[in-house]
Structure 1
Amino acid sequence: MIRRLPPLKSLRAFEAAARHLSFTRAADELFVTQAAVSHQIKSLEDFLGVQLFVRRNRQLLLTDEGQSYWPKIRDIFEILTNATEEIKAQRASGELTVSVVPSFATVWLVPRLSKFKQIYPDIEVRLKASDEMVNFVREDVDVAIYYDKGDYPGMHSITLLNEKLTPLCAPSLLEGDKPLKSPEDLKLHTLLHDGTTDDWRRWLKFAGVKGISLNQGPVFSHTVMVQQAAIYGQGIAMGHLVLSQSDVMAGRLIRPFGLTMESDYSYDIVCPKESSERPKVKAFTDWLLETVRLESGGLC
C-alpha cells in the first residue's frame, strides 16, 4: 500500500511559519514570497482537512491542530538535516581556513564550533581573525565571514545574519540618579564607541534625537570591547544584537528603549565562486546557515 504524503515544500513552509508565527519571516527564510508561503499552507490544510493557523488581533496563531502537528514536523526536519549532514560529512575532510571578523569569531562562531566538529570530525577548522578583506589568490584562506554592506564583486556570497542596532547598558544604570526613560536622556550619559560614530549618528537620527555630542566618550577598537565596557557600567553602547544576544538574554545588558534599527551591514559568507562547491567549504557554509535557521526563533 502506497502512503500518500503531503508535498515537502508545504511541510517546509508550515514548519518555518509555525516557528516564526509569521508568513513574512518564513518567506524571507525560504527565499520565496509571502503569497507562496500562504499558498503552500493552504495546500497543506486542504491535504490534511484541518486549519493550521488562525489570525486574531492581527497576530498569526497556531490552531490546536497546528500546535499538535508542528513539533512532529519540526523533529522530522531535524532528523532529515542530521542524516543529510552525516552523509555529507563522510566526503568532507581536510583543513578549512576561515577568515572572520574578530568580534563575530569571539562571541558567535567560537562557542558553536564544537557542534560543527561533531558533525564533521574530519574537517580541521583554522580561524584567522581579521577585519581585512581577503586576497584569496595570495592568501591561504578557503572562506571568509565579513561584516560589510554585501558588495563583493566576482565572489560567491551569502548573507548569514542581518545586524540590528539599539542602545544597551548595564541594569545598574537604571538604578542611578540619572533618568534613562527616553532617547533624549542619553544626553546625561557617557556614550561608548567602537572606533566610529556612524552607528550612533544613524540611530540618533532614526530616534529623532538632536544635540548630543559624539566627540566625547571612550573609544575601543572592537565592538566586543565596547560591549564589555557597557556590562561594567562604564557607559551606554550602541548594541549589535547579533553579538550581544547572549548578554541580553542573561540580563548582563538591557535595552532601555524599545527602538531598534536595521543596520546597513550584515555578516556575509564569502569565497571564490569556484570554491563554493568544494565539499569542506559547502559543508561549513551549509552548517552556518542551518545553525542560524535553527536559532532564529531566539534572536533578540
Structure 2
Amino acid sequence: MADLPPLTSLRTFWFVAEHNSFKRASEHLFVTQAAVSHQIRQLEDFLGVSLFERGNREVRLTKDGQRLLPYVQQGFSALRAGVTLVKDDSDPNVLNLSVIPSFAARWLVPRLGEFRQRQADIRVCLTPSLRLETFSDGEMDLAIRYGTGQYPGLRSEFLLRDSLLVVASPAFVDAHKPTLASMATLPLLEDTSPEELGWSEWFKRQKLSEPESARCLTVADASMLIDAALTGQGMALVRRSLAQNFIDQGALTKVFALELESPYGYYLVAPEAHFVRAKVKVFVHWMKEEIRQSFGPEMMAYHGA
C-alpha cells in the first residue's frame, strides 16, 4: 500500500471537491481549515501535481483533480458498501430519502400517506434536493434522480421514463383556442433546466418556425412552470410525470398530441448494499406499484434513458 496516499488526505480531497471550498469542507469534516489545507498539500506533494486552483472564496479542480475525483468517489463508495454489508442498519424504522424537488412536490408527497398506512412502522424523512447525493455522510438511504442513470460507485435502478407535452389551463385554452398556426402569437412558458428539452425542439418536430419573442416566462424549476400554467399564464412544455395528476383532475389540458420522449429517466440510486435493507426493499416495491398504477407499464419500460 506504499504507493497510495493516506486515506485521510483522499477523503479531505473528496470533500473539498464536492463543496468547492476549504472552509465548507472543514465544517463538514469537523476540523480546522488549516488542517484541510495541510491534507491537500500533503496529497499534492505525494502525487506531484496541483489538484485545485485557489480563489478568494472558492477553489476549482485542476485537470488532474478532475481526473482523480471519480476514482476517489468510487473507492470510498466501495468501502462504504463493504462496511454496510457487514453492519446492521442503524435505524431500520427511518427511511432517509433524497428526491428532486419537482418530483417530490408533484408526485411523491401526495402519495406518501398511502405508504405510511401500509408501513406504519417506517418513518420517511424526505430531503428535496437538486444536489447529486453522494452518500458520503452515511445518513441517506436512497435517492430518486432524473438523469441518465450513470452515477459512479452507486447502483442505479431504472424506475420511469418520461415525455414532454404541451399543457395549459382549461380557461387559457377556452380563451385562446390554440392551434399550430397561432403558436407564434401565444405566451409560452419554458423550463430552462439543462436536462430538459425545450420549445426549440418542439417547434422543430412540428416543422414550424420558432417565434423569437413568444416566451413570457422562463424558469429553471419544473414545479414553478406547472404553477404558472395552472394560473393561466401561458402554455408550458412539461414532463408528463409531473403534469399527469393535473390532467386527470381537469386542472390542466393537454393541448397538442405530440409528446417529446425525454432522453432522461427517473432512477432509484444508492450504494449497492442499501438495496438489501428491509425498509428500502419495501419502499422500492411500493414505488414501482404506484408508478405502474399512475402511468402504466409502458412508461416503466427501459428505452435507453
TM over 0.5: yes
With over 3 angstroms needed to count, the CA separation of the structure-2 counterparts of 1:205 and 1:272, relative to structure 1, is same
Alignment check: 8 A CA contact 1:93 1:122 kept: no
With over 3 angstroms needed to count, the CA separation of the structure-2 counterparts of 1:181 and 1:215, relative to structure 1, is closer
1:298 & 1:175 partners in 2: Cα distance?
Answer: 33
Alignment check: 8 A CA contact 1:245 1:299 kept: no
Alignment check: 8 A CA contact 1:168 1:236 kept: yes
Q: Which residue of 1 aligns with 2:279?
A: 280
With over 3 angstroms needed to count, the CA separation of the structure-2 counterparts of 1:101 and 1:289, relative to structure 1, is same
Q: Which residue of 2 aligns with 1:89?
A: none
Q: Which residue of 1 aligns with 2:43?
A: none
Structure 1 gaps, min length 5: 1-91
1:241 & 1:127 partners in 2: Cα distance?
Answer: 23
- Structure 1 residue 297: deviation in Å? 4.0
Q: Is 1:187 the counterpart of 2:187 in the alignment?
A: no
Q: Which residue of 1 aligns with 2:270?
A: 271
With over 3 angstroms needed to count, the CA separation of the structure-2 counterparts of 1:286 and 1:214, relative to structure 1, is farther
Alignment check: 8 A CA contact 2:100 2:146 kept: yes
Q: Which residue of 2 aligns with 1:100?
A: 99
RMSD of equivalent CA atoms: 2.3
Q: Is 1:136 the counterpart of 2:135 in the alignment?
A: yes
Alignment check: 8 A CA contact 2:159 2:266 kept: yes
- Structure 1 residue 208: deviation in Å? 2.0
Letter of the structure 1 residue corresponding to residue 257 of structure 2: G
Q: Is 1:259 the counterpart of 2:265 in the alignment?
A: no
- Structure 1 residue 170: deviation in Å? 1.3
Q: What secondary structure, in the 3-state scheme, does the structure 1 residue paired with 2:276 have?
A: coil
With over 3 angstroms needed to count, the CA separation of the structure-2 counterparts of 1:246 and 1:96, relative to structure 1, is same
With over 3 angstroms needed to count, the CA separation of the structure-2 counterparts of 1:214 and 1:148, relative to structure 1, is farther
Q: What secondary structure, in the 3-state scheme, does the structure 2 residue paired with 1:217 have?
A: strand
Q: Does 158-167 or 147-156 show the bigger shift?
A: 147-156
2:198 & 2:286 partners in 1: Cα distance?
Answer: 30
Alignment check: 8 A CA contact 1:99 1:143 kept: yes
Q: Which residue of 2 aligns with 1:20?
A: none
Normalising by structure 1, we get a TM-score of 0.63
Q: Identity rate of aligned residues, in percent?
A: 33
Alignment check: 8 A CA contact 1:165 1:203 kept: no
Number of residue pairs matched?
207
- Structure 1 residue 204: deviation in Å? 2.1
With over 3 angstroms needed to count, the CA separation of the structure-2 counterparts of 1:215 and 1:133, relative to structure 1, is farther
Q: What secondary structure, in the 3-state scheme, does the structure 2 residue paired with 1:116 have?
A: helix
- Structure 1 residue 179: deviation in Å? 4.8
